[in-house]
Structure 1
């Protein structure tokens, strides 16, 4: 009975993903979210590839985990795409986020490689490496939806927008999968139950994407506190392009030059009395008058 339910849930994945992809294509949203669209197409292609190979365990095993690795990489790229869309009006924040995402992805790959070459995981180091990468991506996805839930109003992101729906689907699945992993590691959930609940939760995530893809999303709202986000933007701009410490010297030099040129222009005006020339040598005149007084 459970096997039949699991197969039905598994078959539902590509069907629901195909509907989401078609809706995105017909509405032209695949151009706005190309990585998310590629993620859906990749999952459909992975299912079509590995489903006929269920009888061949070796081919099925390696292609399944290869597809899991591709899914994890694309899932991380979707997070970056969501981040870029959320911070589109804030160029400095968007640039900083891009740098952080690149370094985070490199760190996750490094950790996965270290796990793969570790001797403590037996015969299948690739499985543990991909699993480590998947869990790292799940943590980032869950953190992203928490960030949007907390700061969406400050960034002007409506909860009816497609970008929020994509993040909500990923965050919901990531949070539930992390909870299932904790229950599984604690011995509260067996493997069959884990797979059953995990597939059901992923189908619910696709349903969330489907609902948001059909809905007419609202336009981007104005930020609740635009001055705060502008301060963030200006602060990052000052960090990335600091003002040199000696930049005040040229400013004062230009002010002195303008003052001198202005005074010279006033002296040259017609009808103005000539200024009394200053003595050529104040010290010489003083010494001469002093000698006369002594004489």
Structure 2
């Protein structure tokens, strides 16, 4: 998996070295620093390795608020005509089928509302059309959600990690694109998708822990990939972790992108490793080092695209999602 991701990044980066163009996805602004150029406005974007917490509660079941949902099990009781009593599971289309009256929509309505309609409709067939509707069990989707969660104070929760491809997998609703998105955007999408499953599901999402420190070393190095680090390291240390510059590669430049909190900085350096600025350059806990063998014509666009592909995984996965 790691080698496939590195290959995807390298393939995309090679196209950028000679003809990079600004990305429309991050919409980032660049300004001059002293020796670094600065790319800003990324502080709230999620990235692979971030750990999220999804918190789930079931909406209050007061009579005025409670509504029936598909896959709930409902009991229809006739006190004066018990032979008509029925226990049915609400179909995915929201209907149940009863003797005499046929199909009736119950999903999205309260038991009291359904009881009132049934009392009216059975008035054509029964002398005393008393009908009561009771929800015996929540739908299987709610039960599945309950099983998937761990009970916490105030509700039930579950940790969700953003995967290397930038997606996060949630109970029932499956994968949601998270890498490169703001926490609020992901929260709103998750809430909407759970509402489609069952409108009674109230879901919240929070960032529990940011991704650990790591440095990506790419391009003309012996072992391109990502490497866990402890605190700051120097550029030569990062190159050594990747086995050094590949022999006979004739590098043109070393391109460095680093993330400092909400700021992404980049710097283009001469490939001469003996130069003081190369020897003393320090990386942050989230950095990219790219050894280029071609001229980088648009460093700003290059930094932007590398941030997309490495920090946020905005490139499409193999299945096109």
Structure with the higher strand share, 1 or 2: 2
TM-score (norm 2): 0.18
